[in-house]
């Protein structure tokens, strides 16, 4: 993989900067512009008002690492080689070597940086530097203490996990969400003459539930769990506001393409141990969708998403077309190049033309999900699920069902008996995907957990 800029890669002032803001375990019901009435998110709301609200945008997976692999490679998780949540020990392998959005943009003359959660391999040979990032700051496992930046998990020994490039750094006591926002802002402002790709994968509001006292005080009126999560989301919103303000101050906002989303839906896992008891994370909201993180029901995979580019996209628009994380790479390169790129081996599609004409022809392709024995496929208004769980753990709540997402976004009513032809067609689509999925396995590109 050659991601070294050539002498002919001259910066083009017309090319947009690219800023990707990625939350962690954030639900549709946790953001103001997606219906939350108990957690003010003024900065995300103004971002939404300046661009396109993506009401039917999906993660490619209901869990962390595969979602991030799809975002950066433009591929289904199995095709990218990451299908499950990766571990956090110092020898954990990760994303197999391949093209990423960072390598593509670096080749086009962009400076590239990541600030936050990597979660695509902890071992040194899987660090962000090997995937096109000139600069990196953050942690490589799936979660860390927000103040000590130590990774704790089950029977593993605790591991400190904070890195500036490949140098371990210690910032004990500094709240990580705030630090991520500050570092990303500094990167944006450093060289305004050269286009940038800034990837900001926050750890908020992923467990552990940690928030500064001043944010906790804002939400004391909310129920236990929700009030701490609200504080974490509010701190993230302020960090996003700092980055957006930096763009404005540097005169860059008009020609910066900003994509915001979450890696998957909210978690209902039991991870905190308070007073000797396991306490479930019940503070996140799917906004009425069924399922949570780990589920191929809508609540696990349909995520709050925004795309804003004042120079290139309409403002204040709601787009109801289906899109996925694997579409981000081709969409961004379409915007950067001024035309759809020829991308061999990429599964996603550019959505730029559809986003510019939100009332135009919808994308009627079949899109699929696979996770931990669960399968799902959507085409148009209909979604077929096989062995879908409600969250991270078995058993399956539904063996096979067909849902009309236009009439029933909460997936309460199986309509397979009313539309057997649709169910059969989607079963055939899913069988074809399962065969391709098996071929990706056979190619030997999977990463060990």
As annotated, the active-site residues are: 64, 119
User: Residue 304, by phi and psi: left (phi above 0), alpha (psi -120 to 50) or beta?
Assistant: beta
Distance CA 117, CA 81 (A): 19
Which residue has tokens 């940690």? 210
Instruction: Enter the tokens of residue 395.
Output: 């058993």
Cα-to-chain-centroid distance, residue 66: 10
69 phi and psi angles, rounded to 5 deg? -60, -45
3-state secondary structure of 275: coil
> What is the 3-state secondary structure of 60-90?
CCCCHHHHHHHHHHCCCHHHHCCCCCCCCCC
Instruction: Enter the tokens of residue 161.
Output: 């996990």
Nearest to 178 by CA among 118, 128, 228, 243: 243
Partner residues linked to 382 by β-bridges: 379, 404
Distance CA 149, CA 401 (A): 43
Contact 414, 402 (CB under 8 A): yes
Residues with Cβ within 8 Å of 355's Cβ and at least 6 positions away in sequence, in order, are 52, 307, 313, 319, 321, 331
């Amino acid at each position: 993989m050659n991601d070294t800029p050539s002498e002919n890669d001259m910066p083009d002032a017309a090319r947009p900067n690219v800023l990707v803001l990625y939350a962690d375990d954030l639900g549709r019901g946790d953001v103001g512009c997606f219906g939350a009435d108990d957690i003010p998110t003024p900065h995300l709301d103004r971002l939404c008002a300046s661009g396109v609200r993506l009401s039917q945008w999906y993660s490619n997976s209901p869990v962390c690492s595969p979602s991030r692999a799809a975002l950066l490679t433009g591929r289904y998780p199995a095709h990218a080689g990451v299908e499950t949540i990766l571990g956090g020990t110092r020898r954990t392998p990760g994303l197999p070597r391949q093209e990423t959005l960072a390598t593509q943009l670096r080749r086009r003359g962009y400076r590239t940086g990541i600030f936050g959660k990597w979660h695509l391999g902890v071992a040194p040979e899987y660090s962000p530097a090997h995937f096109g990032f000139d600069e990196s700051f953050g942690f490589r496992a799936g979660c860390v203490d927000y103040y000590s930046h130590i990774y704790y998990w089950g029977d593993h020994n605790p591991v400190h996990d904070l890195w500036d490039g490949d140098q371990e750094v210690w910032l004990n006591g500094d709240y990580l969400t705030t630090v991520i926002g500050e570092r990303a802002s500094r990167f944006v402002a450093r060289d305004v003459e050269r286009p940038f790709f800034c990837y900001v994968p926050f750890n908020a509001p992923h467990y552990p539930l940690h928030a500064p006292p001043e944010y906790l005080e804002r939400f004391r009126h909310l129920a236990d769990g929700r009030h701490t999560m609200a504080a974490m989301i509010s701190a993230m919103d302020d960090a996003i506001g700092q980055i957006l303000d930096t763009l404005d101050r540097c005169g860059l906002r008009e020609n910066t393409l900003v994509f915001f989303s979450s890696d998957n839906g909210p978690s209902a896992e039991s991870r905190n141990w308070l007073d000797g008891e396991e306490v479930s994370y019940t503070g996140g909201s799917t906004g009425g969708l069924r399922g949570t993180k780990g589920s191929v029901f809508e609540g696990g995979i349909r995520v709050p998403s925004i795309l804003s580019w004042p120079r290139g996209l309409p403002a204040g628009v709601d787009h109801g077309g289906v899109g996925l994380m694997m579409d981000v790479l081709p969409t961004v390169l379409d915007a950067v190049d001024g035309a759809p790129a020829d991308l061999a081996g990429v599964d996603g599609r550019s959505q730029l033309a559809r986003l510019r004409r939100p009332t135009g022809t919808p994308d009627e392709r079949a899109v699929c999900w696979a996770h931990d024995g669960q399968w799902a496929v959507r085409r148009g208004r209909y979604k077929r699920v096989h062995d879908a769980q409600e969250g991270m753990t078995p058993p399956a709540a539904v063996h096979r069902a067909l849902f009309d997402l236009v009439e029933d976004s909460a997936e309460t009513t199986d309509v397979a008996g009313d539309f057997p032809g649709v169910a059969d067609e989607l079963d055939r689509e899913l069988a074809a995907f399962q065969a391709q999925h098996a071929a990706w396995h056979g190619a030997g590109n999977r990463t060990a957990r």
